[in-house]
Structure 1
Amino acid sequence: MLDPLAEVVALLQPTASSSKVVSGAGAWRIRRLDVGEPFYCAILEGGCRLAVAGQAPQNLQMYDFLLIPSAHDFTISSLQPMATEAADTQPVEIRPREIRIGTQGIPADVQLLVGHCTFGSPDRALLVSLLPQLLLVRGERRLTTLVELVTQEARGQRPAREVILAHLLEVLFIEALRSTSNTAASPGLLRGLGDERLAAAIRRMHEDPGQPWTVMQLAKEAALSRSTFFERFKQALGMAPMAYLFTWRMALAKNLLHGRDATIAGVAHQVGYSSGSAFSVAFTRYTGSTPGCYSRKESMY
């Protein structure tokens, strides 16, 4: 049986870009205005405060793990408050990949392991939209261990480094996603999979995307009436069932078109289209490029 969550993470193709240990003391505040990069943070010692634009601030403590799949505007600060008008803290690099913030010359009262990564998928915007906007997992020491392994591997130059990093990041993301119990935070795949009835239909879509599914057939898989299934699915995932199926098929098609031996007719069949021409029309409408042009462009990189 296919695991939709694992499939989405694998298609995202996460790659480590940077990681560092951050130690802090006294009062401090760091604001990040990122451009949609995935951000993760593990609290190794002490505690701090997180404020994400549009969400209520919350305190983080030792062994908490934070994952923001697409970070834009967030602030991490000390539990000791700073004046609102005070300037943000300037981090000091005390050695490569080790950062000190707050009051210098006194013992640190908090230590964080933070990192950014990138998603190599050509359809990362769609795939990220299926994930919660923020995940906070509390008390899972194995996540901290995974982050430490990612950091150690990223710093070293050992054989097969990139392969190991890719697998570690996939495990890290999957572990974070399945460990969270806060599935009602925002609509997305995780929330849908948290609903036993909807999960049955989602898994069937992923197991057999080439099947000519209808809402009625999917509702039957979920053991719900058509209307109840439709509304429940839309509320949980933020999109209608057939919209989810269409966008998932297009994400698979993009991935399949990367293959050297891929044919338009073959890809069309795998993602549920009876003819190459019908698939070409749908793919062009979705991407703005024909399957042939897309495949040729991607093969150049």
Structure 2
Amino acid sequence: MIDPLAEVVALLQPGAQFSKVVSGAGPWRVRRSEAGQPFYCVILDGSCRLAVDGHAPITLEQGDFALIPSAYGFAMSSLDLATSAELDTTPVELLHGEFRLGISNVPHDVLLLLGHCTFGSPDSALLVSLLPQLVHVRGEKRLTTIVQLVGEESRERRPARDGILARLLEVLLIEALRSTTGTAASPGLVRGLADNRLAAAIRQMHEHPTKPWTVAQLAKEAALSRSAFFERFNRAVGVAPMEYLLAWRMAMAKNLLRRSEGGIADIAQRVGYSSASTFSVAFTRHVGVPPTTYVREQTELQ
């Protein structure tokens, strides 16, 4: 059985950028808004506060894992933060590659493992839009272990480092996303897969992307009426069923075109189009350029 979540993460092509250990003491606050910089953190000791734009602030405790997959502004701070903006600080590097926030030369109140990863896919914006805006997982030791392995591997220059990191990050993202409470997640693929009725339809779209699906057929797979399915899918996933199917077919097509896996007609059939011409029209409307132009542009970037 095809796993839609694993497919999306694999197409994202996650890579490691950096990770670091940060300790905090006294009042401190940092704010970040790096576009395209997926952020994750593990609370190794103590607690702190995380405020993501558009979400209520949450308290992170020892063992918690947080992931912000996309370009959302966020702030992290001590629990006893005053309101003054003067507290915004830059981490100070200490010995052994650790960084300190707030007061130095005192025992820490919180110890964090922070990191950024990158998504190598040109479709990352499209694919990330299918994920929750914020992932917060509590009490999952597996995640802490995986993140520690990512940190160790990123700091050392051992053979096959990049390949190991890519696979560790795929596992990290999948583990984090599937550990999210489905009904509490923001709209996206994770929340859709948490709904057994919708999951049945989503898996059919991924297992049989070439089938000429209609909303009525997908509703039947979900054992729902057409109107109930459409509304439920829209609310959970954040897009209409056929919009999701189109986005997935186009992501598959762009991946096949980049890898030169067949001609236009062959790729058209592999992503659910009866002819090269109908595929080219749909691709041009969705991507902005014809498939042949897209292939040429990708070749020039390599």
Residue 156 of structure 2: aligned partner = 156
How many angstroms does 1:288 deviate by? Answer: 1.0
Give me the whole-angstrom Cα distance separating, in 1, the residues matched to 2:16 and 2:178: 20
User: Is the CA contact 2:182–2:195 (under 8 Å) kept in the aligned structure 1?
Assistant: no
Q: What code does the residue aligned with 1:260 have?
A: S
Residue 101 of structure 2: aligned partner = 101
How many angstroms does 1:84 deviate by? Answer: 2.7
User: Is the CA contact 1:39–1:71 (under 8 Å) kept in the aligned structure 2?
Assistant: no
SS at match of 1:202: helix
Segments ≥4 residues shifted beyond 6 Å: none
How many angstroms does 1:204 deviate by? Answer: 0.3
User: Is the CA contact 1:39–1:117 (under 8 Å) kept in the aligned structure 2?
Assistant: yes
How many angstroms does 1:86 deviate by? Answer: 2.9
Identity %: 65
Give me the whole-angstrom Cα distance separating, in 1, the residues matched to 2:113 and 2:104: 19
Tell me, yes or no, if structure 1 residue 117 matches structure 2 residue 117: yes
* Matched ranges for 1:270-281 at <5 A: 270-281=270-281
Tell me, yes or no, if structure 1 residue 239 matches structure 2 residue 221: no
Tell me, yes or no, if structure 1 residue 192 matches structure 2 residue 160: no
Which stretch shows the higher mean deviation, 46-55 or 129-138? 46-55
Give me the whole-angstrom Cα distance separating, in 1, the residues matched to 2:180 and 2:14: 19
How many angstroms does 1:96 deviate by? Answer: 6.2
Which stretch shows the higher mean deviation, 91-100 or 28-37? 91-100
Residue 24 of structure 2: aligned partner = 24
How many angstroms does 1:282 deviate by? Answer: 0.5
SS at match of 1:72: coil
Q: Deviations over 1:258-281 (max 9, x none)?
A: 123421011100111000000000
User: Is the CA contact 1:19–1:97 (under 8 Å) kept in the aligned structure 2?
Assistant: no
SS at match of 1:37: coil
User: Is the CA contact 2:27–2:87 (under 8 Å) kept in the aligned structure 1?
Assistant: no
Q: What code does the residue aligned with 2:139 have?
A: G
Tell me, yes or no, if structure 1 residue 5 matches structure 2 residue 13: no
Residue 41 of structure 1: aligned partner = 41
Which stretch shows the higher mean deviation, 225-234 or 271-280? 225-234
* Matched ranges for 1:8-87 at <5 A: 8-87=8-87
Unaligned runs of 5+ in 2: none
Residue 140 of structure 1: aligned partner = 140
How many angstroms does 1:114 deviate by? Answer: 0.3
Which stretch shows the higher mean deviation, 253-262 or 17-26? 253-262
Task: State TM-score, norm by structure 2.
Answer: 0.97
- How many pairs does the alignment contain? 301
User: Is the CA contact 1:29–1:82 (under 8 Å) kept in the aligned structure 2?
Assistant: no
Q: Deviations over 1:37-95 (max 9, x none)?
A: 10000000000011111211111000000000013311101112223343312310114
Give me the whole-angstrom Cα distance separating, in 2, the residues matched to 1:226 and 1:295: 38
How many angstroms does 1:206 deviate by? Answer: 0.2
* Matched ranges for 1:141-290 at <5 A: 141-290=141-290
Give me the whole-angstrom Cα distance separating, in 2, the residues matched to 1:136 and 1:261: 38
Which stretch shows the higher mean deviation, 69-78 or 199-208? 69-78
The CA RMSD over aligned residues, in Å, is: 1.2
How many angstroms does 1:186 deviate by? Answer: 1.4
Q: Deviations over 1:150-190 (max 9, x none)?
A: 01111111111111000000000000000111533311101
Which stretch shows the higher mean deviation, 274-283 or 102-111? 102-111
Unaligned runs of 5+ in 1: none
Give me the whole-angstrom Cα distance separating, in 1, the residues matched to 2:95 and 2:118: 24
Q: Deviations over 1:96-122 (max 9, x none)?
A: 642111111111121000000110111
Which stretch shows the higher mean deviation, 118-127 or 175-184? 175-184
Give me the whole-angstrom Cα distance separating, in 2, the residues matched to 1:118 and 1:158: 20
Q: What code does the residue aligned with 2:4 have?
A: P
Task: State TM-score, norm by structure 1.
Answer: 0.97
SS at match of 1:79: coil
Mark the CA change 1:168 to 1:71 in structure 2 (over 3 Å): closer, same or farther: same
Give me the whole-angstrom Cα distance separating, in 1, the residues matched to 2:141 and 2:107: 24
Q: What code does the residue aligned with 1:237 have?
A: V
Q: What code does the residue aligned with 1:43 have?
A: I
Structure with greater strand percent: 1
